[in-house]
Structure 1
């Protein structure tokens, strides 16, 4: 079994920061240092190279990290497998899911609630990043499972279809754009647009759809670029420009008339959400429980 010092080492090694590890584990930096020194004394090696305010892993530290990552996964599986013998619903364990903004805000909450009700002893954690950074978190073993918009070509991960989503053009009800029955794709070159940041799944979906209309993001009049679905939505509520947002994120505002869906003939933006796992972890029991429950939850709504 891994010791708490190994857990401390994992956080320092994956964040390359003693202060970040202290914040994550809710202990002091001197306590972090003490745990690292304990491991270094035990293994008779140096785990980190310290240069000013930055740290990096030594070659021995990289080897230890590799084994600690494997050990954490085995320990997690062991705890789950032993505790489920009497009753699956009483099984103990931990599960960290990584998702993009849209998914974490509008897709996952009801699934987490249902999962917690069914498996109350499994600790749930949600990590929210843009799609680009979620992939890195998965490969760095920061999360157990990811849900992303679209697929990457990296061979070290496996994708499994989850849901279809739609991104739509919207504007505030007070915008003059509401008077337009249709907006031709070429007109987008003359209309101020608020966009998501580079690396977001929403922007990628919009970019791909524009290309089919022989347009690019560079052709648009960028009024502002915002990091986050809610930030973009709140901006559009107070402004008169056009923006592209997931339908799930603006359903309430469309219903109460605060936002209006615009029509751009020839421009349809659909994307797929996928479960993403590291290859070799497909048999992870808790991952499979979550995938099964999440898929079942949304299939019932169809």
Structure 2
């Protein structure tokens, strides 16, 4: 079992921020600093180097961080084996999950509630970023588990399918284009608003256009916005066409605030996957959470 100071050090090293580590651990910055200082006194060396408003690991800090990651892995394996031996064994677990915007806002909240009701000794932290940055955070050990969409696969990450979702073209009712059925080629003359680079939704659109020999840069892009909600709120008051997850605009489509624009030759279906660093697939609680979430959504199909 890792000591409390070592758990705190791991989080600071993972995020390279005392403030962010404190927010994740629900501790004040002073409490985090106190525990790290105690470790530095114990090891008789500095673990972090302060560079203005940022920090970096010293060689000693790098050594401790690498060894604690191995110890954390062993702790996961030990907990898994004891759980198999004793139904009464239920250790306190902390897990940091990263998810793309659509997942964070519209898919995962009910799962988190149901999971915490079943496993009350679990403390979950959810980080909302675009798919590209979730993958980066996973590889840098900033998160334990990620859920991303429509992104090129890398070799040192395991992908587990979760669900599929449709991306739809939408516009304000003021834009009467929704009364027509377009072709992909006709998008070259329609002003559009798009998500930022790194967005899974954008990647799906780019791939679908490429299948029709159309480049994303060929579209008359009026604005790029970071995040699903920002794009949705913009297109509600503008006459641009936008591409958004259907789950993100269900209420607006039902109320008539947005209208679907039919594009007959553009297939905009995306896949959501769990992503894990290779070697962690069988770790508890990651495996438990993945299985729970997949069962949750399989029952809804």
Mapping for residues 90-129 of structure 1, pairs under 5 Å: 92-129=92-129
Partner residue in 2 for 1:15 = 15
Aligned-pair distance for 1:167? 0.7
Change beyond 3 A, Cα 1:136–1:261? same
Change beyond 3 A, Cα 1:107–1:18? closer
Equivalent position SS for 2:279: coil
- Do 2:195 and 2:231's aligned partners in 1 also have CA atoms closer than 8 Å? yes
Partner residue in 2 for 1:173 = 173
Which segment is superposed worse, 190-199 or 6-15? 6-15
User: Where does the alignment leave 5 or more consecutive residues of structure 1 unmatched?
Assistant: none
Aligned-pair distance for 1:265? 2.1
Report how many aligned residue pairs link the two structures.
301
Partner residue in 1 for 2:260 = 261
Change beyond 3 A, Cα 1:24–1:159? closer
Aligned-pair distance for 1:38? 2.2
Give TM-score, length-normalised by structure 2: 0.90
Partner residue in 2 for 1:53 = 53
Cα deviation 1:106-125 (Å, max 9, x = unaligned): 21122222222322222222
Change beyond 3 A, Cα 1:138–1:58? same
Partner residue in 2 for 1:164 = 164
Which segment is superposed worse, 251-260 or 167-176? 251-260
State the alpha-carbon separation in 2 of the partners of residues 141 and 204 from structure 1.
24
State the alpha-carbon separation in 1 of the partners of residues 13 and 237 from structure 2.
43
Change beyond 3 A, Cα 1:292–1:33? closer
State the alpha-carbon separation in 2 of the partners of residues 5 and 297 from structure 1.
36
Give TM-score, length-normalised by structure 1: 0.89
User: Where does the alignment leave 5 or more consecutive residues of structure 2 unmatched?
Assistant: none
Change beyond 3 A, Cα 1:32–1:86? closer
- Do 1:206 and 1:269's aligned partners in 2 also have CA atoms closer than 8 Å? yes
Equivalent position SS for 2:264: coil
Cα deviation 1:168-189 (Å, max 9, x = unaligned): 111112222223x212322212
